[in-house]
Amino acid sequence: MRCWRLDDGRQTLVLGSDRDHLAEIIYWGPRLPDAEDLTTLFSAHAIDVTGGMLDANPELSICPEATRSFPGQPGLILRAGDGTPLLPKFCFEKAEQGDDQLELRFVDAANGLTYTAHFSIDPATHMIVAQATLEAAKPVHLHWLSAPVFPGPQLSDDMIDVAGRWCGEFQLNRTPWSPGMRYRENRTGRTGHEHFPGLILPCRGATNTRGHAYAFHYGWSGGHRMVAEELPDGRRQIQFGHAARVESAPATRFETAPLYAVFSDDGINGCAVAFQRHLRDRIVQFPDPARPRPVHYNCWEAVYFDHSLPTLKDIATRAATLGAERFVLDDGWFGNRDDDTRALSDWEVDARKYPDGLAPLIAHVHGLGMSFGLWFEPEMINPDSDIHRAHPDWALGGEDQILGRNQKALNMGCADVRDFLFDRIAAILETQAIDYIKWDHNRVLPTPDAAQTRGSYALIDRLRAAFPMVEIESCASGGGRIDFGILSRTHRVWLSDSNDALERLKMQHNAAIFLPMAVTGSHVGPRKCHTSGRTLDIRFRAWVAAQRHMGFEMDPRELTEEETAVLTEVTAWWKANRDWMFDADILRLDSPDRAVIAEQQLAQGGARFVVFAGKAAVSDQIAPRPLRLTRLSPDAQYRIDLINRGDAGPLSRGAPALKSGPITLSGAYLMNHGLILPWSFPESMWVIEGTLV
């Protein structure tokens, strides 16, 4: 019997392999003592056998094998090159353990297969990263390969996964555990609004701030498959991998994307903080980490395809006055792109709109002290485009396919296509001072194909190598391509096409389980939201954007004097606070009022924080309930300041202390009783600063 363990300060992962079988995770949870005897642990882990069962329980291994009578979904399904189904049975070959790393290799000599699982644990972020590789002596057809399989906790009643839609990303779904499986498979070929690849398993009684919780994220942009299965014997397994059957050709090597897994002993926030930190500190590669996140202005909802140089200059001037530091020219600048029916892939500046190229606009933007960003949608092509007319074979899918936003996807597995895109994009980046690309992807694929995702990654990687100072925003009709795979090569996500602050408040709250402020774009939209028709007050719109990487997207010419003043002030607040908020932990608060969606952004070291308490609806009860804070030092005193107390309306008639000035309270009080905020209208936000005294 062989056992291995990986530890960080708060969790231990133990794997064991007996009789040379594939290893299984025999323990994952709070840290075990160093002296724990792993061999005893292995025997203690074995479950009994009774009537109506096999004479021993097949192991729930890191890649369950059908050949070992495993009563659930196997971790690997494949066929030989000639199509014959293969039934692998692996045998231990070797283990290599380094600092915080473990690699296990198993061989199936009869079928010429090698399976390797790699685990690492990050002592600072508490993230476990697991990845599986399959090698074959002769080309094989892969149907399904799971990243190393984890056990699901038994003291968990529900699983939470993530669904969504255009303008409504990051909706959390709760499903009770029951015998059988919850199977999610994304066959759209991109991460998708509907399928963010994440899973949260709270143990019984866990909340945002308390209890045990486990969480997973699969870092891949081509569509994933998740199996959360309760076996007939009660054990539970979690599998994540690429969607099934997305490898279109036989090959001798396949690998999964990294599976990120974390255990938390302080609620779902423990998982959220691990994901936020790991993504920001280990995955995203900012070209200049010291550069503060610039306030964005994006012109999409101001002008759409109607580009006119004088108008854009005017808008840019106004945006800069409000506090913008980067101007992003969105769709409509190339080819004859007057609407969304044409010109995608004709990546040359439209001389009708820009007779002297982009240089005059860029010079104007630079003159205002802003940097310049440009929109592309590289992987797409309109049938009505010069490039489609020249290379119809570059597009994926048949002539009779259903178009998406009037467009087809380009075949990113084709080197000629990638070269063409590299050359066209490089030609623009080489000649213009552009420090940012908004990289869009507005349709699903006609059929999912892993080669497409690998091709997209290769193009982005090549561009990044050639233009290392250019940041990239991942957008796909809003949040259709958000995952740690794309974020290892990009720097910001466009969370949603909804600039409706109420919808955003909800989405940002849920997305914070996985995404830090530093990468989550959030813009102040038009007074009357273009995607919901809702009219929202500028204060609410501004503060919701200030929760994340702030920007504007409305036409600044629509702003009244009062709106201009509010927006300028909130933007100045954001700039004054963004440095510490960049690496603050976003902690979702357990709000006793269902109408209040609240979070606490806690600075590294804990000396300061800001609470954003958004009122998403009218409360059921008449008076505000206290909002409990989290992760403070119980014995410390904090100066609490309701910084936008001036927003209290006439129906807030009483005199809660926070309305008249800062107060000082202990961490114990704030965490156990909570703050009573003034009464407020729905669609408003209280902003509370806390400072360690």
What is the closest distance, in whole angstroms, from the C-beta atom of residue 280 to ligand DGJ in the complex?
A: 23
Which of 641, 633, 642 lies closest to 666, judged by CA? 633
Which of 358, 306, 334, 377 lies closest to 555, judged by CA? 306
Window 495 to 524, contacts with ligand DGJ (CB under 6 A): 497
| Residue 477 within binding range of ligand DGJ, rule CB under 6 A | yes
Distance of CA 532 to the CA centre of its chain: 23
3-state SS class at 278? helix
- Angle subtended by helix axes 538-546 and 561-582, to nearest 10: 20
In the complex, residue closest to ligand DGJ by CB: 331
What is the closest distance, in whole angstroms, from the C-beta atom of residue 302 to ligand DGJ in the complex?
A: 12
Q: Which residues are catalytic?
A: 440, 497
Q: Of these, 76, 315, 463, 475, which contacts ligand DGJ (CB under 6 A)? A: 475
Window 277 to 316, contacts with ligand DGJ (CB under 6 A): 300
CB atoms within 10 A of CB 497: 23
Residue 470 in tokens: 């250019």
Q: Of these, 254, 494, 552, 669, which contacts ligand DGJ (CB under 6 A)? A: 494
| Residue 582 within binding range of ligand DGJ, rule CB under 6 A | no
What is the closest distance, in whole angstroms, from the C-beta atom of residue 471 to ligand DGJ in the complex?
A: 16
3 CB contacts (<8 Å, ≥6 apart)?
14, 15, 16, 17, 26, 38, 39, 41, 42
What one-character DSSP code corresponds to residue 548?
Answer: S
Q: How far, in Å, CA of 108 to CA of 569, rounded?
A: 65
Q: Where are the beta strands (DSSP E) in 203-313?
A: 213-218, 224-230, 236-242, 251-255, 259-264, 296-298
307: phi then psi, degrees, rounded to nearest 5: -90, 125
| Residue 471 within binding range of ligand DGJ, rule CB under 6 A | no
What is the closest distance, in whole angstroms, from the C-beta atom of residue 169 to ligand DGJ in the complex?
A: 11
What is the closest distance, in whole angstroms, from the C-beta atom of residue 617 to ligand DGJ in the complex?
A: 27
Q: Which is nearer to ligand DGJ, 544 or 642 (CB)?
A: 544
Following DSSP, what letter does each residue of 582-604 receive, concatenated?
HTPEEEE---SSTTEEEEEEE-T
What is the closest distance, in whole angstroms, from the C-beta atom of residue 325 to ligand DGJ in the complex?
A: 19
| Residue 440 within binding range of ligand DGJ, rule CB under 6 A | yes
Burial of 607 (0-12, 13-18, 19+ CB in 10 A): middle
What is the closest distance, in whole angstroms, from the C-beta atom of residue 497 to ligand DGJ in the complex?
A: 4
Q: Give a three-class secondary structure readout of 333-400.
A: CECCCCCCCCCCCCCCECCCCCCCCCHHHHHHHHHCCCEEEEEECCCEECCCCHHHHHCHHHECCCCC
Per CB under 6 A, the segment of 84-92, 129-137, 204-212, 473-481 that binds ligand DGJ is: 473-481
**β-bridge partners, 486:** none
**β-bridge partners, 128:** 121, 261
400 CB contacts (<8 Å, ≥6 apart)?
none
What is the closest distance, in whole angstroms, from the C-beta atom of residue 439 to ligand DGJ in the complex?
A: 10
- Laid out side by side, the sheet with 2-7 consists of 2-7, 11-17, 24-30
Q: Which is nearer to ligand DGJ, 442 or 601 (CB)?
A: 442
x-or-dash string of contact with ligand DGJ, 356-375, rule CB under 6 A: -------------------x
| Residue 474 within binding range of ligand DGJ, rule CB under 6 A | no
| Residue 331 within binding range of ligand DGJ, rule CB under 6 A | yes
Q: Which is nearer to ligand DGJ, 331 or 563 (CB)?
A: 331
Q: Which is nearer to ligand DGJ, 116 or 477 (CB)?
A: 477
Q: Which is nearer to ligand DGJ, 475 or 554 (CB)?
A: 475
3-state SS class at 130? strand
| Residue 330 within binding range of ligand DGJ, rule CB under 6 A | yes
Q: How far, in Å, CA of 493 to CA of 495, rounded?
A: 6
How many residues bind ligand DGJ (CB under 6 A)? The answer is 11
| Residue 442 within binding range of ligand DGJ, rule CB under 6 A | yes
Per CB under 6 A, the segment of 51-59, 243-251, 281-289, 472-480 that binds ligand DGJ is: 472-480
| Residue 378 within binding range of ligand DGJ, rule CB under 6 A | no
x-or-dash string of contact with ligand DGJ, 97-136, rule CB under 6 A: ----------------------------------------
Per CB under 6 A, the segment of 95-103, 107-115, 221-229, 474-482 that binds ligand DGJ is: 474-482
Question: Can you give the binding site for ligand DGJ, defined by CB under 6 A?
Answer: 300, 330-331, 375, 440, 442, 475, 477-478, 494, 497
